[in-house]
Amino acid sequence: MKTAAVLGLKAANGGLFVVAFALVSEALKPKRFAGLFSAAPSVALANLAVVVAMKGHAEAIANTRGMVIGAVAFTASAAVGAAIARRHSVRMATLVVSGTWIAVAVPLYLLFLT
Amino acid sequence: MSLLDHIPPSAGSRPAEPPVDADLSKLSKIRPKDIAVRFVFGAAISLIAGLISLGFGATAGGMFLAFPAILPASLTLVEKKEGTEAAIHDLDGTILGAAALGAFALVAGVGLRAGSAALALPAALATWLGASLAAYVVVESLRRRFSTTP
C-alpha cells in the first residue's frame, strides 16, 4: 500500500513539475533558448523530493548516480535528434530520440554502475 | 536587454537571433489538451522510473530521471504550431539543457551526502540553470561569429 502511494505521489508530482517547466518554455523566446527548458530537471526534482521525504537520502543519492548516465544519454540523443531533424524530418527525430537514449544509457550503466 | 547584447557580431556574420525575452500572453493560447499531454508524459516517466527503482535498484531508476520522455510530444507540438525550423532550434537548446542535467545530478548527489535536501535540491536546480545559461551564451556567441547558415 505504501509503495503504491509513493508511486502515485511520484507520478502526480512528476506531471505537475513537467507542466510547470513546459509553461516556462512556452513563454520564452527565441526557440533555441526555450529549448533549454525542454531538458529541465522537472521529473528529477519531483521524484527526488518524494524519495528524500519517503525513503531517505541514500536512495536519492543512488538515483543521482544513475541520473548522470541518463544525462549523458539525453545529451547524445538530443544531438542525434537535431542532426536527423535537419537531414530528414522532425517526425523521424522524435522516433529516434528514445531509441538513442536507450542505446547509450544501457551500455554506460552496465559498464560503470553494475 | 538581451542576454547576448554584450557579444558584438563579427563582420560578415549572419544576423543575430531575436533577443531572449518572455511573452506571457502566449500562455493564454496554450490548449488544455497540450497541458494534459505533458502532464501524462511527466507522470508516466515518473511512474516508470519508480517501478525500475523497485525492480532493478535506485541507480537504474535514477537513469530514467533524465529520460527524454516529454521531448517527442513537445517537438511535435512545436513543429505543428511554429514550424520545422522552430522545432530544430528547440532541439538545439535541448542539447545544452540535457548536458547541464549532468551537473544537476552531481550537485544533488554531493549536496544530499553533505546535508539537507532543502539546500541540495535548490542548489542543484540553480546549477542546472547557471550551466544551461552559460552554455547558451557561449554557443550563441560562437554561432554568431562562425555560422554562415541559419
Tens of pLDDT, residue by residue over B9-23, are 444 444 556 788 888
Which residues are registered as beta bridge partners of B21? A29
Give the tens place of pLDDT for each residue, B24-37: 888 888 889 989 99
> Which has more pLDDT, B9 or B122?
B122
B60 and A113 in contact by Cβ < 8 A? yes
Whole-model pTM: value is 0.90
**Rounded average pLDDT per 10-residue block, chain A, 114 residues:** 88 95 91 94 96 94 97 98 96 95 97 93
A38, A43, A105 member nearest B46 (Cβ)? A43
Instruction: Report whether A111 contacts B131 (CB < 8 A).
Output: no
Alpha carbons within 13 A on the beta-carbon side of B72: 17
CB contact (8 A) between residue B101 and residue A71: yes
| Predicted pLDDT at B7 | 47
pLDDT tens for residues B56-95? 999 999 999 999 988 998 899 899 989 999 999 999 999 9
Compute the CA torsion angle A107, B98, B135, A113 (nearest 10 deg): -40
Cβ atoms of residues B83 and A28 within 8 Å: no
Contact A62 B113 (CB under 8 A): no
CB-nearest to B41 from A18, A35, A79 is A18
Give me the residues paired with residue B22 across strands. Answer: A28
Q: Are the C-beta atoms of A34 and B26 separated by less than 8 Å?
A: no
